[in-house]
Structure 1
Amino acid sequence: MKNTKIFCLGLILALVSACGPSEKTKQLMQDAKTSFGILPEKMPGSEKDTPAKIALGEKLYFEKRLSINDSQSCSSCHGTLGKTAGVDNLPTSPGALGKNGDRNSPTSLNAGFHFVQFWDGRAADLKAQAKGPILNPVEMAMPSEAAVEKKLSEIAEYVDLFAKAFPDQDKKITYDNLAEAIAAFERTLITRDRFDEFQAGNHRALTSEEQKGLETFLSAGCIQCHNGPLLGGNSFRKLGQVHPYENTTDVGRSAVSKNDAEKYFFKVPSLRNIALTAPYFHDGKVATLPEAVKKMAYLQLGKELSSEEVDSIVSFLKALSDKNRSN
């Protein structure tokens, strides 16, 4: 009988232990919520988005006729279908006329949560961003806003879609409305991952290896730049804070701000879906995630991470992939 009681007590203790997180895990969950936070359910500005506006924006996002030779759409560089994570996975992207841009195409997923758009922050929001590539001579190469409006006005389907999306406006097909519609669609591109489930209280959402990776991420100092719900996307930082980056041809933010103190500053990228968006850095010159982790630790923190530390951090970063896009 005594042995039976001891066995039952041990079984109960084991079950209790299995049901709840350890004190160490509880602390890690709290540390994560303090440093990061759960991605909001909706993006700023989405309260004004109507189903008609979103539907128009989605069609425009995939519309190749917005380019000079009907060969290029927003989706060409920022694919969102299937497991594609808002990028084309190229170092730099070819435009409608065959010339490549100078920078790596950032993901369009969760983009509306960023504090500014583009690597150099030259657009304040999604609407301002949407106006750029269509008229950029290297990207979609349309000659003017008027040319875009004329082209769309000659397509019956768009006449109808713009009328539904902007019923109260006299002139419905405008470049401004086009950008507003694309932005409305992009505000729906919110991803969900296991890390948010972990922060919300599900201690089993991350494996023990991934939790160890989170610990390493925190202790290594990665949160100095990669913090907030996006794990980035909320500040400009100099690339090469401790050791200089080898590519100095792109001066980054200072080209926009005209402030030499911001030379080589770039927007800190979000780490959400980072395992799906190779290659890395503003110039796309870093091919793999382990290489990016190791290089960033050296450039920004002055640290030489061990292979074990790099692998640990990478295991955590993979948990930031959208559940519908990760393998």
Structure 2
Amino acid sequence: MKSTLLLSSVLVATSVFAASDADLLKAAKDAGLKALPSTQAQVEEVLKDLGVKPNKFTEAKAELGKKLYFEPRLSKSGVISCNTCHNLGLGGTDGVAAAVGHKWTVNPHHLNSPTVYNSVLNTTQFWDGRAMTLVDQAKGPIEAEPEMATPAKLAVERIGSLPEYQAEFKKIYKDGVTFDNIADAIASFERTLLTPSKFDKFMNGDLKALNKAEKEGLKTFIDKGCATCHTGINLGGSMQAFEVAGKYKFANLGDFKGDVNGMVKTPTLRNITETAPYFHNGAIWKLDEAIKEMGSVQLGIEISNAEAKSIINFLKALTGEKPKIVYPQFPVSTEATPKPEL
């Protein structure tokens, strides 16, 4: 009789726990949180649903784009590549407060480099949202004087001077090496930089994927209103109003004020524990401080130390598995290759 009662108690406790987890999953979905797509076909559908026009993806484009992503000759100096500021070994960022570019120029607006991981699933690109697609985004840093400082014409001359690249481009693109095709290839590689995590398993129905502390953190995250802006597949990546309830204490570091309406792209929270410092100007280095600041600035509430710690437990569950990237070997420069300009 005693063993029957004990078994009954275990079964009741288990069913209550399962119901609680199911309720949490429903709450997460109701808050707009979603799992990462697992295939490029699914990425395509997600982008269409977001109203973002996807570029046509092929494995050949992605492989070419990988070379170009790491290609330092796309910078005027021949030293800087996309990976310099969006280092795939550093969470897709550079680990400094403000991006550093050509001739050691610090970003004139003191803007922090956002992660490139999962960036294809943002609804907008750049802090001010001035680009909708990764193709458009890829062009900006190459040409920007404080970044890679390479005019489109020079970029095409550099890449077009290398027979191996010429042949590879002609196999993929009818018009060969063009600036648009360079950007398209880079964007195709960036589409592959997805980082599925245990959170995605949970969102796909595996109620045991998160531990107790992570589930409690997810509940705190939702209950405090964090998912109001940090929502969707990327838990961010869309344009949102900033300083809704209070003044950001480091607002005067740099002159960035958002787009014409004061809107700012909300950073993704995926892999957030790997991408310090935080905020558009990289002014905050500690994640608990960033959480408390967001509570004050965006929600008008005070988040306690215990609540911040709980949220961090959840955010750790957003650290995903990175795709294995083999560093490419580049074609050798020719006599026709324009020389580096330092």
Instruction: Provide the TM-score with structure 1 as the length reference.
Output: 0.88
Deviation of 1:51 (Å): 1.8
Structure 1 counterpart of 2:123, one-letter code: F
Equivalences, count: 307
Query: Which residues of 2 match residues 12-161 of structure 1 at below 5 A?
Result: 14=10, 18=14, 21-35=17-31, 36-41=33-38, 42=40, 43=43, 44=47, 48-81=56-89, 84-101=90-107, 102-142=110-150, 144-161=151-168
Q: Is the 8 A contact 1:135 1:145 kept in 2?
A: yes
Deviation of 1:252 (Å): 3.2
Deviation of 1:146 (Å): 1.2
Match of 1:10 among 6, 28, 46: 6
RMSD, aligned CA? 2.0
Match of 1:181 among 182, 185, 195: 185
Structure 2 counterpart of 1:30, one-letter code: K
Deviation of 1:8 (Å): 5.1
Q: Is the 8 A contact 2:135 2:187 kept in 1?
A: yes
Deviation of 1:123 (Å): 1.2
**Structure 1 residues 94-122: Cα deviation after superposition (integer angstroms, max 9, x where no partner):** 11311111200001111111111000011
Match of 2:244 among 238, 241, 251: 241
**Structure 1 residues 260-299: Cα deviation after superposition (integer angstroms, max 9, x where no partner):** xx23x21111111111111000000000111100111011
Structure 2 counterpart of 1:76, one-letter code: T
Deviation of 1:161 (Å): 1.7
Structure 1 counterpart of 2:157, one-letter code: K
Aligned to 1:277: 275
Q: Which runs of 5+ in 2 are unaligned?
A: 48-52, 324-342
Instruction: Provide the TM-score with structure 2 as the length reference.
Output: 0.84
Q: 3-state SS of the aligned residue for 1:127? A: helix
Q: 3-state SS of the aligned residue for 2:185? A: helix
Separation in 2 of the partners of 1:174 and 1:285?
38
Separation in 2 of the partners of 1:319 and 1:299?
25
**Structure 1 residues 148 and 27, CA gap change in structure 2 (3 angstroms):** same
Query: Which residues of 2 match residues 246-261 of structure 1 at below 5 A?
Result: 246=249, 247-248=251-252, 249-254=254-259, 259=260
Separation in 1 of the partners of 2:228 and 2:72?
40
**Structure 1 residues 133-167: Cα deviation after superposition (integer angstroms, max 9, x where no partner):** 1111111111x21111111111122112212221x
Aligned to 2:333: none
Aligned to 2:293: 295
Q: 3-state SS of the aligned residue for 1:123? A: coil
